[in-house]
Amino acid sequence: MNALVEINQLRTVLHTGAEPIRAVDGLSLKINPGETFALLGESGCGKSMTALSIMRLLPDAGEIVSGHVDINGTDLLRLPELAMRTIRGKRISMIFQEPMLSLNPVMTIAEQIAEVLKQHLQLSDQAIQNRIVELLEQVGIPDAERRMHEYPFQFSGGMKQRAMIAMALAGEPELLIADEPTTALDVTIQAQVLDLLRQLQHRKQMAILLITHDLGVVAEMAQQVGVMYAGEIVESAAREDFFNQPRHPYSQQLFASLPEKNKRNQALAVIHGTVPSLAQTFTGCRFANRCPKVMSLCHQTIPQWHLVKENHQVRCHLYDDSIQRTANAETAIVTHSDNAEKEQKILPNVTDSPLLQVTDLQVHFPIRKGLFKRTVGHVRAVDGVSLQISAGKTLALVGESGCGKTTIGKSILQLIPPTSGGVRFKNQELTKLNRSQLHKIRAQFQIIFQDPYSSLNPRMRIREILQEGMNALRVNDQSDTHLEQETDALLQRVGLPVEVKWRFPHEFSGGQRQRIAIARALAVNPELLVCDEPTSALDVSVQAQILNLLKSLQDHLGIAFLFITHNIAVVEYLADEVAVMYLGRIVERGLVDEIMETPKHPYTQALLSSVPRIKPEREQHIIRLQGDLPSPAAPPSGCHFHPRCPKAMPICRESYPTSNAFSNTHTTHCFLYSQESLS
């Protein structure tokens, strides 16, 4: 089959400093019609810059210095900009990583899609309107004829991403570039987006360049895989070969970093260090300083491509038959988790007595309208939640965006005042305390926010950020010398060198900033940590570092975690118990094995079925949920899930189901298991 897209020795540099940054350095790949080529790797490896180079949408500092990008024999790099405008949106389209930043906030969705249609297709105004409705219906936007006239802020995250896909598909492209199309999406929305892309690809024989760091998505979508590191591809293979036997040490380390149920009692493998600066001239293997199989040759000679199997190539000296080596390419990957059991010190004080008890918690936000701002309704963000967490244990709170998970975390800490209900921490009712009383015990419970960059003051050095909490809560009344010692010890505890305390937040990577956010929370010696999506959108290697850190802190200090996430793999690895939340209420709760292996509620079953698996234990049947999460301002009558439930019965529309117990720890709210529905 002739390749639709052929990229040969593409080199892109960024002129942002004294030395040019070689963001893409000699990249070559081919994509056939109807094929998905997945490009994966850590942040900073050049994946997105490759996509922008193909589209010729580089920033002002960017320059393509050499190479070819051919689509059906047309070299895009040789076209003038005027001709390139007829290619973008028509023959090649792109789904950008962040739809909110890519959609124009002052134009309706219809106006933005119409721009593409007017540019590339000769259609009448009525035909354009009909085509917009058709596109939005294709991508699963409900009530498309009405909602097409809404603005991006009126769409949920998943709907914005689907609108971006509709816009990218408007010109019926031959190649679709999807840059992290499912990053930070709920698993249910992610399943819808991936299913949509597969259907459209099959119908149109469209090629897809899928840029992602999610190995589960790659396993589900791709036919060919390319692993990118420091500006170049280091391994290229068919999907089956890659997942059955990754060859490059970097690929092997990515797999070893993945959280899984069978790794629950051990530390995850970590790729130490960071992606090297691309401003330097490399004289050896770019992965050498982080590689567990490194040889002296790796620092001196640039590795060449080696064919290890048909259609499976790797750029590594381990596969050069002319080199006498002591390490065999088939030996198991060396990880840093071998001594995990020796390092762990479980505190004897950890007991099953509840540290935190939440009883019938409600958080309702008033909806005000009119000149006098009268209250005309309420957003029921949290609507009667009860839970408890024991010291040294982890409760994972999972569910779709908008179900109230973050609101629960903030209201437990009294950052948002509850409307009603109780929050008892160590036998002290927090909702009854005034501001000064709460201030005295606030050090005992802290929060790690989802986005560390937004939660760290950009004008403060790390030293000041860590000491701010100590001073505000009077945790440390010692001398300045002792305060500095405590600061240094905190940084070392989270795996950062002491000297970084003089830097500012912008000087760190995403994973390092998250470590600083954790250090700040630990500065006041808390007993409970609310972790709000602390690994969301992090690379698997950085995620492994954060999870190891949290697990180690719990083992050594006995800290309890309320872990808010939509990453089911992280839940399987870290959690002791799981609570599944839907539209302000917990619909199922149990031990992690009970929920993961025998989910009872139809929503839990749909949630787990949507998780992409690298090697599924059995044939996966994805349960497709119809529609979107209803508005918490007007929740459905009866069971809130019944409009989307594939097993809904008439009784589900009439009243909310009571709790059904399957064991002392496993309960659910569902009429499928109640006596009324069975009689």
Contact 45, 51 (CB under 8 A): no
| The predicted structure's pLDDT at residue 338 | 39
What pLDDT does 618 receive? 57
Q: Which residue has the tokens 């080596």?
A: 325
For residue 582, tell me if it sits in a domain: yes
Q: Which of 172, 203, 219 is the last residue of a domain?
A: 172
Domain edge (last residue) among 150, 172, 194: 172
- pTM value? 0.85
Residue 284 lies in a domain: no
How is residue 542 written in tokens? 């950085």
pLDDT at 331: 43
Calculate helix-pair angle for 249-256, 540-557, nearest 10 degrees: 40
Structure tokens at 338: 């071998």
Full domain range(s) for residue 156: 103-172
Quote the pLDDT of residue 339.
Answer: 39
According to the model, what pLDDT value does residue 344 have?
Answer: 44
DSSP per-residue codes, 323-371: S--SS-TTSPPP-S-TTHHHH----TT--SSEEEEEEEEEEEEEEEETT
| Pair of tokens at residue 34 | 């109807």
- Decide: 319 and 306 in contact? Cβ < 8 Å: yes
Give the span between the Cα atoms of 181 and 94, in whole angstroms: 10
Q: Within a domain: residue 343? A: no
For the chain (length 679 residues), average pLDDT per consecutive 10?
A: 91 90 95 95 89 94 95 93 92 85 92 93 92 88 89 81 88 92 76 84 91 89 96 96 96 93 89 86 94 93 93 94 56 41 44 84 92 88 95 94 90 95 94 92 91 86 92 70 88 86 85 87 92 82 88 91 92 96 96 96 94 72 78 91 93 94 95 65
426: CB partners within 8 A, 6+ apart: 355, 444, 527
Cα separation, 336 vs 495, in Å, equals 14
CA distance 235 to 135: 36
Q: What pLDDT, on the 0 to 100 scale, is given for residue 476?
A: 56
Instruction: Establish if 567 belongs to a structural domain.
Output: yes
CATH code for the domain in which residue 518 is found: 3.40.50.300
Domain-embedded: residue 454: yes
Name the domain boundary from 172, 202, 227.
172
Kindly state whether residue 575 falls inside one of the protein's structural domains. yes
Please answer whether residues 505 and 451 qualify as being in contact, where contact means their C-beta atoms are separated by less than 8 angstroms: no
Distance CA 639, CA 625 (A): 15
| Number of domain units in the chain | 2
The verdict on residue 196 lying in a domain is no
Angle between helices 187-204 and 157-169 (to 10 degrees): 10
| pLDDT value at residue 327 | 45
Got the DSSP string for 42-61? -TTSSHHHHHHHHHT---TT
What is the C-alpha separation between 644 and 400, in angstroms, rounded? 13
Task: For residue range 194-244, list pLDDT tens digits in order.
Answer: 888 888 888 889 999 999 888 989 999 999 999 999 999 999 999 999 999
3-class secondary structure per residue, 191-251: HHHHHHHHHHHHHHCCEEEEEECCHHHHHHHCCEEEEEECCEEEEEEEHHHHHHCCCCHHH
Distance CA 607, CA 592 (A): 14
Strands (DSSP E) along 82-231, which ranges?
92-95, 175-179, 207-212, 224-229
Asked if the structure places residue 48 within a domain, the reply is no
